[in-house]
């Protein structure tokens, strides 16, 4: 009789730890950004063993908060075979069969309104090229990232996959050989081709406890011989933007720094608002320091905007006032001492600073109010925030604070995305404020991801 061979104790400990603490369900996160989807999956019981993100700043944030299993690579060059080899080499898996879930949101400009106009221009100019035998959508070089996602699913053959994308995908159609097909059907057919059943649904993160109206198309794919996963059920409450940030200290509009004063005390348990605040202040990312910086800072408000912001109204308690509604007479009254408004008929109006000796006056031009009517707008405090976007990296004019005359801070944007306060988007001071805003705008809300992940874990139970 042959003797029973036992695995080394250290290997047994590692396997048991994985199964007991993480449910033994391993996942790979593609186009991972700063890690919002990964954090939600971890919170729901998955073990994310590998992630791919090409942006250096986002990769730094991911590694700093979630661990060194992220590969800062261009996914077009980092094939699924290379991922498999790397995960086996570092001991995360023994074979690719251990991967139960592939997740990610391949960026595709074709699904945005801007992307559609560019495609239209390419077609009109005759610059649309391609030879793929399937359809023009797959042939678009900018959709190559979606094909990479399919390749990863095909290679690892996971039990489930999640794919997330913008809601604009719903109204996007492609014409191929005289036939018009919804892009969602095209995408599903690609996964059907590699042996997966797929369903999709547009979900709003605000309906899952996130203080932000953020609509996304979620694709769930599964092997026909496995249990069909379900979409999570919406909660029966919503968190308003003011509820999400009311405990944070005030910020100086002059330089964008946090004013002296501590956060308000934690609310009592029992209210949805209180539960959200407790999540933000007490949840820790797996790799983040026990106490990180709050990152509650924003851009300084220039004299022109100091005069405009007090005029803006969200519509919460009075008629909404956008940038297009701002009257120059009101601006003149709000200007800081020593500054003046210059109005012109043929060139943009501007605010000019005081003149000091031979030094030239500092000038701030106005945007065209007809072309950029909603350039500046205040967030309603009694409703979830509007969709946080990566454009925050350039300016925060679409996100003027509900009550203060400034744009939102890094931490407030992160709160609207439901990230815990311990999540450091600066990666310990390595990333600029511009990088931080861009990452937050591109991220998946962790609480939203957790709701999806929790529902998926049920099929393994």
The rounded distance, in Å, linking the Cα atoms of 175 and 29 is 31
Closest CA to 212 of 393, 395, 380, 388: 388
Sign of CA dihedral 118, 440, 413, 170: positive
The rounded distance, in Å, linking the Cα atoms of 283 and 344 is 53
Q: Is 91 exposed, middle or buried (0-12, 13-18, 19+ CB in 10 A)?
A: exposed
Q: Tell me how far apart the terminal alpha carbons of the chain are, to the nearest angstrom.
A: 36
Closest CA to 164 of 98, 211, 231, 236: 231
The helix (run of H) or strand (run of E) holding residue 173 is strand 173-176
Query: Helix H segments across 128-226?
Result: 136-139, 144-156, 183-193
Closest CA to 62 of 420, 423, 441, 378: 423
With contact defined as beta carbons under 8 Å apart, do 457 and 45 qualify?
yes
Sign of CA dihedral 9, 11, 14, 15: negative
With contact defined as beta carbons under 8 Å apart, do 41 and 453 qualify?
yes
Query: Annotated catalytic, 280?
Result: no
The rounded distance, in Å, linking the Cα atoms of 39 and 447 is 9
Which listed residue (108, 150, 206, 244) is catalytic?
Answer: 108
Q: Is 157 exposed, middle or buried (0-12, 13-18, 19+ CB in 10 A)?
A: middle
With contact defined as beta carbons under 8 Å apart, do 253 and 405 qualify?
yes
Query: In this structure, how many other beta carbons lie within 10 angstroms of the beta carbon of residue 406?
Result: 22
Kindly list the catalytic residues.
108
């Amino acid at each position: 009789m042959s003797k029973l061979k036992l695995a080394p104790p250290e290997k047994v400990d590692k396997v048991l730890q994985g199964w007991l603490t993480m449910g033994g369900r391993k996942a790979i996160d593609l186009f991972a950004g700063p890690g919002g989807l990964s954090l939600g999956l971890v919170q729901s019981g998955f073990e994310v063993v590998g992630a791919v993100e090409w942006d250096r700043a986002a990769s730094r944030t991911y590694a700093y908060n979630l661990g060194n299993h992220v590969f800062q690579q261009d996914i077009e060059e980092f094939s699924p075979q290379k991922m498999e080899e790397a995960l086996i080499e570092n001991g995360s898996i023994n074979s690719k069969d251990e991967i139960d879930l592939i997740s990610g949101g391949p960026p595709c400009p074709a699904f945005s309104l801007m992307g559609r106009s560019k495609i239209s221009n390419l077609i009109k100019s005759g610059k649309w090229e391609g030879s793929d035998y399937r359809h023009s959508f797959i042939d678009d070089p900018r959709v190559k990232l979606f094909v990479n996602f399919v390749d990863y699913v095909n290679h690892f053959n996971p039990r489930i996959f999640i794919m997330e994308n913008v809601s604009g995908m719903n109204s996007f159609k492609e014409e191929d050989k005289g036939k018009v097909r919804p892009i969602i059907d095209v995408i599903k057919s690609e996964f059907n081709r590699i042996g997966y059943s797929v369903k999709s649904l547009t979900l709003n993160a605000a309906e899952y406890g996130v203080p932000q109206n953020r609509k996304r198309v979620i694709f769930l794919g599964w092997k026909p011989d496995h249990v069909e996963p379900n979409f999570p059920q919406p909660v029966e409450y919503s968190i308003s933007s003011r509820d999400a940030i009311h405990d944070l200290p005030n910020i100086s509009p002059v330089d964008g720094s946090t004013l002296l004063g501590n956060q308000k005390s934690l609310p009592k348990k029992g209210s949805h608002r209180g539960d959200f605040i407790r999540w933000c202040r007490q949840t820790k990312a797996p790799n983040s320091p026990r106490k990180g910086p709050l990152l509650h800072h924003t851009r300084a408000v220039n004299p022109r905007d100091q005069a405009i912001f007090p005029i803006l109204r969200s519509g919460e308690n009075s008629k909404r006032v956008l940038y297009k509604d701002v009257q120059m007479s009101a601006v003149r009254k709000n200007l800081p001492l020593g500054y003046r408004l210059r109005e012109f008929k043929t060139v943009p109006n501007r605010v000019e600073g005081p003149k000091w000796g031979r030094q030239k006056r500092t000038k701030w031009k106005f945007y065209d109010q007809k072309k950029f009517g909603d350039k500046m707008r205040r967030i309603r405090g009694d409703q979830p925030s509007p969709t946080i976007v990566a454009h925050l990296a350039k300016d925060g004019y679409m996100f003027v604070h509900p009550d203060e005359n400034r744009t939102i801070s890094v931490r407030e944007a992160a709160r609207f995305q439901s990230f815990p306060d311990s999540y450091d988007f600066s990666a310990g001071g390595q990333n600029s404020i511009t990088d931080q805003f861009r990452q937050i705008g591109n991220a998946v809300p962790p609480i939203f991801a957790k709701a999806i992940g929790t529902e998926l874990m049920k099929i393994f139970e």
